Structure 1
């Protein structure tokens, strides 16, 4: 029970008690008082109680505050306003009759100090005005989501030969196609029920490139890809017996630029190569199940300790394993048989596959590559692997999974004969498979271009740059102009940059693509819409036309209470 209700209940009881006292006093008095005197005293009791209650809990009064109607980009020319509403047009809005032009929302709020709420009309606030709106009560009737491309996430820096992913969201259906800088189709996919679509491509040599995203409706978008030369990573390969799987794995490591050390057991206690004395300096270790078992307890403990320090560990299964067989806590369900496995198509069409493979080289000419439909049937151990699925077959069955162990990762691969991809002319699929494993499981940062994604930036609009190596970093525009980055005091290592020209900018030693000011209009509109909707919270429920509550002064009720007390005392003490 709230205090005001408790006091009200006590005052009601006091009024009833006062009436009972008057009745008993009148009944037991030798000379009865006049009826008007008794009636006046009875009427004063609720007046006393009411005045005392209003003195303690003064009633609230509603104060109508001004509301600013903020016209943003896409706002209609004619905007209906109510009582106490003033229209303010931001620079992105068109011609609005009767609207006051303001350079930004913060300036508008400083000039209209009586405004307690804002009503946003149009596609929403840009990043410049959102901090000022965060402290206001916001109402926003969001327009419908525009059709076409409404979200795009380019890939982060990738290593040469690695696969990259392009994420997009499409409203209104259709399909999306990724094309390389030469205009050749790389991948085609249709969005899911939520409109999300993921397209895959392959980076070639180190440098910058502009891929393209095409939609069925005709929309196009530039997809910048930065390929960074990978720093040589150190890998160790241990095998319990020689064979084609180890042979092609060593060849892949050499082609991928890994500095590897190998040891192959040949039987009779003999081995080819030399095992490392410590695993601490390696970025990736690839073992099979037999070499994992032959390491012994001390060597396995040292290997797991290196994984906890950040190294990646991949264990290949070469045959059936017992139930609950595990590697550093990553267990398998056990498998007593070998079952067939077929990989999903590497590309949606033969032309897309040719574009991904590239022109070939002297050692691996494109003429020797197998067609799209000639992918061999592989084999895997019929076991389930606990952890996070990493690789799946055409039916969606995982044949590789991983888990975190300290700062490193451990993975188990149940694929037995991945080398058959190379011997059948599908060397690109083999390289993609092992590159995915090495990139995901290997030591973070060893490739020089870890997985990630880039945010979009437009000319004439502020963009945030983080992970700046030192203070005083600069940005170089395509025309050669140098601009000092403005450090953000609230976020260490981040700064703001206002690019003037579209194109490739060198920012703090890295490359960043800036889109033209009018590029991707649906993406920008959807971004403004979603960000503005995030500002609308429970605060809007407390207003109906921007109203606020305030308590009226209680001294008037206190004076009424004193007057009623004095009159009651005089009536009770009156002798005549």
Structure 2
């Protein structure tokens, strides 16, 4: 029962007592009418005085400071002095003389304060929405040692490379290792001066898996480990149109890669005298280009296009078609002119030079990256035996032409981080230029996996944008077990499944109608299934126990944002406190004594 409701019941009880006593005075008949009304007035006054004794009127005074202890408050140094009470959140260790509160909002409601001093590692998710006082201070614990940021890989297609970005703190000369679900190291790198690192792996069959990111110190001891969720989705089959001025090994192995990747590919390679080999004539007209996702040309086939074909290709490019101009030789003046008309000017003399693209690191990680068949001796596509375990992690040098796309984005990067090729967005589509002439050498060297990764990245960058299958997005990149996660972009009924397999509907917040967001409280860690209309969506839920440093850093960041969002100090906060009771008690005793005297005198 609230204080207001209790005061109301007290007032009703006192009123009932006064009414009964007044009725007895009026019906008694032993007292003159004027004197009876005088006694009734004294009874009313006594009842009012008794009410104010029990519930004295409140008065306003400047609010005192409040100290709240949270997680690991004992590691934050000496507790600050405060005029107000010392309060403990549920996660805080016991302190003599401190009062335990269920949450921060309850503490602020029971003890209004002008200043709040939070001591500990930060606010848990339960307390981040509390309305904080205008003057908020934070006595924090030392920053955690280990992983402090993680960007999980995006969903990729089978056989594609995925990237993992992370940042660590507190470890000198540290290294990072990416381990696959079988605990085999697939990539290793040294952290930069800022603690950042980028690792990569290769996706296998469609499905969901959990890699692990391990942080090692200078002596090779494991400092911290976090899970890295990775989801591989079966990609929508792409449609490629390829026109070449002559057949060659680049087309041969490009077709083999496309067949293995499930890509529909139509090739036309001219042989001279009006003849061509491949899959027949590749029509370059509006209807055929609208059904294609990527058009691949070399410099001579681009220059040989008729005016109508070139106009149709340019219009299709603006409507979303991807165009790739691969190098088979130095571009002519007419080729450069047509590229300028398409919005992709080239710089450079087109001279030939060798380039080294990034390898796979140590040879001991090569088998893990290539999958379970890496340890066996398998025939190559040309029938030659190749012991895959004997190959080193280095890649053969390729030939490239000295061509650059000014103010464009890079298609590839060499071992030194220099851009190789480039692309630009034109309308809804993209056009790019790849100056590498002999990527097929990787296949002959037994590295068809890296050949596929190269072309998979190029095609994924330039091909027509596909309709995304998962429209849900979240303001927070990482979902934690037991903490509220916001899912936005809900355009259909959304359900989450509990550990028993029962569907729990998630309600869209009416206050965020534009973003259409719903709240989700996952109770289990790992991959969790959501049903968004007719589509099944998977989300990985992190457990704070599996990534303590990462969770602690997320709590520090969220607490910093909550304190920064508090209103600035404008005037001292006021709090309502009960007034003194003794004047009311004294007046009540005097009035009650007068009533007793009158009764005894009578």
For normalisation by structure 1, the TM-score amounts to 0.76
Please tell me whether residue 190 in structure 1 is matched to residue 190 in structure 2.
yes
> The residue matched to 2:479 in structure 1 has which SS?
coil
Please tell me whether residue 507 in structure 1 is matched to residue 506 in structure 2.
no
C-alpha distance after superposition, 1:45-103 (max 9, x if no partner)? xxxxxxxxxxxxxxxxxx84333333222212886344443433333333244444333
Distance 1:261 1:389, change over 3 A: same
Give the CA deviation at 1:423. Answer: 1.4
Structure 1 distance, partners of 2:91, 2:209, is: 32
Is 2:403–2:421's contact at 8 Å kept on the other side of the alignment?
no
Q: 1:222 aligns with which of 223, 227, 242?
A: 227
Instruction: Give the aligned length.
Output: 482
Structure 1 distance, partners of 2:546, 2:305, is: 58
> The residue matched to 2:257 in structure 1 has which SS?
helix
Please tell me whether residue 94 in structure 1 is matched to residue 99 in structure 2.
no
Which residue in 2 is equivalent to 1:332? 346
CA RMSD of aligned residues (A): 3.0
Which residue in 2 is equivalent to 1:495? 518
Kindly report which structure 2 residues correspond to 1:109-120, keeping only aligned pairs within 5 A, or say none.
Answer: 109-112=108-111, 114-120=112-118
Structure 2 distance, partners of 1:431, 1:316, is: 16
Which 10-residue stretch deviates more, 455-464 or 518-527?
A: 455-464
Is 2:423–2:431's contact at 8 Å kept on the other side of the alignment?
yes
Structure 2 distance, partners of 1:149, 1:363, is: 41
Give the CA deviation at 1:443. Answer: 2.4
Q: 1:233 aligns with which of 231, 234, 238?
A: 238
Is 2:250–2:438's contact at 8 Å kept on the other side of the alignment?
yes
Which residue in 2 is equivalent to 1:415? 436
Is 2:244–2:270's contact at 8 Å kept on the other side of the alignment?
yes
Give the CA deviation at 1:430. Answer: 0.7
> The residue matched to 1:121 in structure 2 has which SS?
strand
Structure 2 distance, partners of 1:374, 1:504, is: 36
Distance 1:393 1:235, change over 3 A: same
Is 1:66–1:85's contact at 8 Å kept on the other side of the alignment?
yes
C-alpha distance after superposition, 1:168-190 (max 9, x if no partner)? 11112311101111111100011
> The residue matched to 1:85 in structure 2 has which SS?
coil
Distance 1:299 1:449, change over 3 A: farther
C-alpha distance after superposition, 1:2-42 (max 9, x if no partner)? xxxxxxxxxxxxxxxxxxxxxxxxxxxxxxxxxxxxxxxxx
Which residue in 2 is equivalent to 1:485? 506
Gaps of 5+ in 1: 1-62, 550-576
Distance 1:281 1:116, change over 3 A: farther
Which residue in 1 is equivalent to 2:477? 455
Structure 2 distance, partners of 1:94, 1:486, is: 36
Is 2:132–2:566's contact at 8 Å kept on the other side of the alignment?
no
Structure 1 distance, partners of 2:562, 2:387, is: 57
Is 1:315–1:413's contact at 8 Å kept on the other side of the alignment?
yes
Which 10-residue stretch deviates more, 329-338 or 136-145?
A: 136-145
Is 1:138–1:535's contact at 8 Å kept on the other side of the alignment?
no
Which residue in 1 is equivalent to 2:141? 143
Structure 2 distance, partners of 1:111, 1:286, is: 70
Which 10-residue stretch deviates more, 493-502 or 519-528?
A: 493-502
Please tell me whether residue 275 in structure 1 is matched to residue 282 in structure 2.
yes
Which residue in 2 is equivalent to 1:106? 105
Q: 1:395 aligns with which of 410, 416, 440?
A: 416
Is 1:89–1:100's contact at 8 Å kept on the other side of the alignment?
yes
Gaps of 5+ in 2: 1-60, 575-602
Structure 2 distance, partners of 1:446, 1:370, is: 42
Please tell me whether residue 247 in structure 1 is matched to residue 252 in structure 2.
yes
For normalisation by structure 2, the TM-score amounts to 0.73
Is 2:353–2:400's contact at 8 Å kept on the other side of the alignment?
yes
Which 10-residue stretch deviates more, 92-101 or 308-317?
A: 92-101
C-alpha distance after superposition, 1:238-275 (max 9, x if no partner)? 21221111111111111111112222222223333222
Which residue in 2 is equivalent to 1:69? 67
Structure 2 distance, partners of 1:236, 1:521, is: 50
Kindly report which structure 2 residues correspond to 1:36-435, keeping only aligned pairs within 5 A, or say none.
Answer: 64-76=62-74, 80-112=79-111, 114-133=112-131, 136-173=134-171, 174-216=174-216, 217-218=221-222, 219-272=224-277, 273-276=280-283, 277-278=285-286, 279-321=289-331, 326=339, 328-345=342-359, 347-360=360-373, 367-368=387-388, 371-372=391-392, 375-386=395-406, 387-435=408-456
C-alpha distance after superposition, 1:512-563 (max 9, x if no partner)? 22233422111111111122223344978848xx8469xxxxxxxxxxxxxx
Distance 1:127 1:301, change over 3 A: farther
> The residue matched to 1:131 in structure 2 has which SS?
coil
Distance 1:126 1:294, change over 3 A: farther
Is 1:239–1:291's contact at 8 Å kept on the other side of the alignment?
yes
Distance 1:118 1:162, change over 3 A: same
Is 2:213–2:227's contact at 8 Å kept on the other side of the alignment?
yes
Is 1:175–1:189's contact at 8 Å kept on the other side of the alignment?
yes
Which residue in 2 is equivalent to 1:25? none
